[in-house]
C-alpha cells in the first residue's frame, strides 16, 4: 500500500488479488448474504483505498486500515438503503457445498448453513462484526481492538458473549 500511496497505482491489482476474497467474506457475512451487493461493496472499498491512499501511514497493519474502510463502506450502505439487509440467499450457500457428497448430506449441510446465517443475521451489528472479524476473517484480537478502538480484553469478552448469543439464537431457530 505504501507503493500505491507513492504513486505506483498498478500495485492496486496485487492488493485486490490478495484481499478481495477476505473483504468479500467480511462484507457478505456482515450483510447476512447477498452476493451482488457484497461484490459492489468490495469494489467500493478498493475505490476508497485508492481515493484515500494518502491516509495510510504504514505505521499500523494494512489489514486494519482496510477493514476500517470496509466498515465505513458498510455503514454508508446501510444508511443509504435504510433497511437491514439480513437475508440469506440459499443459492449462494449451495455454491459452497461439496458437489461430490450425497444429496441428503448436501441438503442437511445447506439447511444448517442457512440456519447459521439466520442466527448470525439476528445478532446485533456489533456482535456480528466481532464474530466475522475473529472467526471468518481470522483477525487477531489485537488487530480487532485497534480497528474497533478498544482493548484486546474487551474484544475477547465481546467475542465470547457473541458466540454464546449465536449459539442460543441458533438453537432457538433450529427448534
> 70 near 23, Cβ under 8 Å?
yes
Domain with CATH 1.10.1740.10 in the chain: 1-87
Domain with CATH 1.10.10.10 in the chain: 123-175
Rg, C-alpha atoms of the chain: 17
Q: Using CA atoms, how far apart are residues 150 and 168, in angstroms rounded to an integer?
A: 26
Q: Does domain 1-87 have CATH number 1.10.10.10?
A: no
pLDDT (mean) for 139-162: 92
CATH of domain 123-175: 1.10.10.10
* Global confidence as pTM: 0.66
> 26 near 136, Cβ under 8 Å?
yes
Q: Using CA atoms, how far apart are residues 84 and 78, in angstroms rounded to an integer?
A: 7
- Quick: pLDDT tens for 118-149: 888 888 888 999 988 998 888 899 999 998 99
Amino acid at each position: 500500500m505504501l507503493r500505491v500511496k507513492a504513486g505506483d497505482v498498478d500495485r492496486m491489482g496485487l492488493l485486490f488479488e490478495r484481499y478481495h476474497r477476505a473483504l468479500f467474506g467480511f462484507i457478505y457475512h456482515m450483510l447476512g448474504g447477498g452476493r451482488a451487493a457484497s461484490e459492489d461493496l468490495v469494489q467500493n472499498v478498493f475505490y476508497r483505498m485508492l481515493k484515500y491512499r494518502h491516509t495510510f501511514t504504514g505505521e499500523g497493519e494494512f489489514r486494519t486500515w482496510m477493514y476500517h474502510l470496509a466498515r465505513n463502506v458498510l455503514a454508508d450502505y446501510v444508511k443509504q438503503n435504510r433497511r437491514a439487509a439480513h437475508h440469506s440467499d440459499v443459492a449462494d450457500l449451495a455454491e459452497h457445498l461439496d458437489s461430490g457428497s450425497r444429496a441428503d448430506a448436501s441438503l442437511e449441510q445447506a439447511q444448517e448453513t442457512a440456519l447459521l446465517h439466520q442466527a448470525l443475521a439476528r445478532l446485533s451489528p456489533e456482535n456480528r462484526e466481532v464474530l466475522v472479524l475473529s472467526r471468518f476473517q481470522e483477525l487477531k484480537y489485537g488487530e480487532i481492538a485497534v480497528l474497533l478502538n478498544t482493548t484486546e480484553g474487551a474484544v475477547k469478552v465481546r467475542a465470547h458473549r457473541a458466540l454464546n448469543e449465536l449459539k442460543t439464537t441458533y438453537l432457538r431457530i433450529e427448534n
